[in-house]
Amino acid sequence: MVKIKSSEELIQKHEAEHKCLDKKFHCEPGKKAIVVCGGTGCLSSDSREILERFHHLIKEHHLEDKVTANIVGCFGFCSQGPFVKVFPEDTLYTKVKVEDCEEIIEKDIMDGKVVERLLFVDPLTHHKVAQQHEIPFYKLQKRDIALKGNAEINPEDINEALGQGAFLALNKALHMDPQEVIDEVLKSGLRGRGGAGFPTGRKWQFAHDVKCDEKYVVCNGDEGDPGAFMDRSIIEGNPINVIEGMMIEGYAIGAQNGYFYIRAEYPVAVARLKNAIKQCEEMGLLGDHILGTDFSFHCHIRLGAGAFVCGEETALLNSIEGKRGMPRPRPPFPAVKGLWDKPSVINNVETLANVPYILLHGSEAYASIGTEKSKGTKVFALGGKVNNVGLVEVPMGITLRQLIFDIGGGIPNGKKFKAIQTGGPSGGCLTEKDLDTPIDYDNLIAAGSMMGSGGAIVMDEDNCMVDVAKFYMTFICDESCGKCSPCRIGTKRCLELLTKITDGKGTMEDLDELKSLANVIKSNSLCGLGQTAPNPILSTMNAFYDEYVAHIKDKRCPAHVCKNLMQYKIIEDRCVGCGMCARNCPASAIAKTDIVPVGKSESMPLRVHRINPDNCVKCGLCIANCRFGAIIKD
């Protein structure tokens, strides 16, 4: 690769590559370009094989001059993948299988006709939608800051990133004083996307102000919240954008080395990041005297140790140093004494992905997006009981209603919305009354939850909130590092109380104890993991106190989730006596009675069935197999 040794060479390279990209997206007449989603979700649904099939077919049909095909980052709409997109028409095909490739090549590429059966069908209007920007899921999104380049450029090819403007922000920064860079980030109002929302510029300022020859920047990619995959997709889709953000930070605080700490469970992200670092080094964009300046910077990758707590910044530092991932007490703060006791700044992947935009477009442009105290966009991993599951980037200030019902397409099967859990195990549940709250850091905290890293799990009436609290407590109990006693023992005691309640053995005193214990853990724990661990309990107790009481006083789980408080029953009037339930029962808990089903003749062998609660293991197979809706949970 040709080295880029100066600003001028970078700009020349950008202009040349930009033309190539432009050609690809707005092809010359007769030419087309195919891109295939290369996010982890789609890869596991064979998108790599789909791409290979396209390559094979292009060769077979001698279309090499007419069409190209390559992988891109995540499209975000993961429930509809794998995606194949065709330029210049911008046609988006969903749920593509390897065997569909031939039809796409023959019909679309060769004949110029859209393959109708592979288009997205709007679940509300039942209309087919051909182009991505027409799909409601994408309409309210702003996917060009943190998710910039995702689903557009080939994440394995630095040239496409350069064509899209990679390193122009760094180039601009290198012409500024480090303090000016920090001021710009401060003015932009960017806050940490990892959870707590601490102003990024202030973090940089602390480390900048510490006098030391050796400093480090660390990128926290140890994304561990259940169901969250923002950081993974950002790295998978445009690793160079994150590298550039890290380099700008390095320049601002005076660091020459940056560490990426990435979950070992993210092999695709790690491979693309490694590849990107290698390509940057080959081009001289990482290394010594970058763009001919005095700024030198080196990137290193460390794989996560497989513990949730390693996402806590000081535990992460220990883990990088090869130690057990346990948080350090603060003070001293990492900005003073961080990695290998040197001043260090730890920023989340998404935070760094925002940085190039701020430098390139200016803090004012960035600050024009969002609310008064929360600027820019936020990426959410929208999941749970919502029609459109996937990764979304929205401007701060959008309401939860817009997120869940407009982008998310509402609750499946006509069920009623109950709550949305944000902030992962550290967050809380927001309810109906919060739906019109604009999403920003402070509003979410005021409503009893938090932004967190961006997990957003929607729940409907079938979710038991005590069970939800128990789920998160189980997770925290497993993932507590065991260092400090309130978290190690307190969360265990909480889980024991919650289990007692969901088993129907709880008392009202237990409820008081649970609350006081939760508050003890919150105030006494050493690190953020422990201090926020009781939030799922406190927020569900706050919003769904009645459900807790129902479990205790009525020995009843209103959502019919807690197995020890619920029974399966056959409604005699509805049972036709077909016996499907009994045949499928793994515990032989269902037997015939003498009762003749309503409307059946006694001469027929059909008899009403009944469940023996002593044998029933509450697996739910009978409900799933009953075609007459005769079995209910009570």
Residue among 307 and 543 whose Cβ is closer to other proteins: 307
C-alpha to C-alpha distance for 114 and 222, rounded to whole angstroms: 41
From candidates 140, 489, 591, 595, binder to other proteins by CB under 8 A? 489
Residue among 324 and 592 whose Cβ is closer to other proteins: 324
- Least Å distance, CB 492 to other proteins, is 4
Burial 505-526 (b: 16+ CB within 10 A, else e): ebeeebbeebbebbeebbeebb
**Interface residues for other proteins in 3-42 (CB under 8 A)?**
none
Stretch that binds other proteins, among 7-15, 53-61, 169-177, 326-334 (CB under 8 A): 326-334
- Least Å distance, CB 229 to other proteins, is 23
Residue 329 as a binder of other proteins (CB under 8 A): the answer is: yes
C-alpha to C-alpha distance for 22 and 398, rounded to whole angstroms: 32
Tokens of 134: 């027409």
Residue among 198 and 628 whose Cβ is closer to other proteins: 198
Instruction: For residue 156, give the DSSP letter.
Output: T
Instruction: For residue 486, give the DSSP letter.
Output: I
- Least Å distance, CB 497 to other proteins, is 8
**Interface residues for other proteins in 491-550 (CB under 8 A)?**
491-493, 496, 513, 517, 520, 523-526, 531
- Least Å distance, CB 499 to other proteins, is 10
**Interface residues for other proteins in 429-488 (CB under 8 A)?**
477-486, 488
From candidates 35, 307, 360, 589, binder to other proteins by CB under 8 A? 307
From candidates 10, 118, 326, 552, binder to other proteins by CB under 8 A? 326
- Least Å distance, CB 349 to other proteins, is 24
- Least Å distance, CB 342 to other proteins, is 17
Using alpha carbons, select from 592, 590, 504 the residue that is nearest to residue 548: 504
Cα angle 282, 147, 528 (rounded to 5 degrees) comes to: 100
Residue among 336 and 571 whose Cβ is closer to other proteins: 336
Residue among 321 and 436 whose Cβ is closer to other proteins: 321
Tokens of 555: 């020995």
Residue among 163 and 334 whose Cβ is closer to other proteins: 334
Residues 6+ apart with CB under 8 A from 238: 73, 147, 148, 149, 150, 153, 155, 161, 353
- Least Å distance, CB 520 to other proteins, is 4
- Least Å distance, CB 489 to other proteins, is 4
CB 581 within 8 A of CB 607: no
From candidates 490, 506, 528, 536, binder to other proteins by CB under 8 A? 490
Residue among 493 and 574 whose Cβ is closer to other proteins: 493
For the CA atoms of 259, 260, 265, 267, the dihedral, rounded to the nearest 10 degrees, stands at -110
CB 410 within 8 A of CB 420: no
* Count of CA atoms in the C-beta half-sphere (13 A) of 267: 3
- Least Å distance, CB 512 to other proteins, is 12
Would you give the binding string for other proteins spanning residues 253-292, x where CB under 8 A is met? ----------------------------------------
C-alpha to C-alpha distance for 567 and 611, rounded to whole angstroms: 9
- Least Å distance, CB 553 to other proteins, is 22
Residue among 500 and 600 whose Cβ is closer to other proteins: 500
- Least Å distance, CB 437 to other proteins, is 25
- DSSP β-bridge partners for residue 609: 592
Tokens 């967050």 -> residue? 427
Using alpha carbons, select from 65, 76, 72 the residue that is nearest to residue 86: 72
From candidates 324, 569, 574, 600, binder to other proteins by CB under 8 A? 324
C-alpha to C-alpha distance for 536 and 427, rounded to whole angstroms: 6
Residues 6+ apart with CB under 8 A from 261: 218, 219, 220, 221, 222, 302, 303, 304, 310, 316, 319, 320
Residue among 485 and 588 whose Cβ is closer to other proteins: 485
Instruction: For residue 26, give the DSSP letter.
Output: T
**Interface residues for other proteins in 72-111 (CB under 8 A)?**
none
CA distances from 239 to 73, 271, 301, 381 (A): 10, 10, 12, 19
Total number of residues that touch other proteins (CB under 8 A): 32
Residue among 435 and 520 whose Cβ is closer to other proteins: 520
CA distances from 378 to 192, 229, 393 (A): 10, 13, 5
- DSSP β-bridge partners for residue 216: 257, 344
- Least Å distance, CB 480 to other proteins, is 4
Tokens of 216: 């480090």
Output the furthest CA–CA distance in the chain (Å, rounded). Answer: 95
Residue among 186 and 336 whose Cβ is closer to other proteins: 336
From candidates 331, 414, 586, 605, binder to other proteins by CB under 8 A? 331
| Binding footprint of other proteins on the chain (CB under 8 A) | 307, 309, 324, 326, 329-331, 477-486, 488-493, 496, 513, 517, 520, 523-526, 531
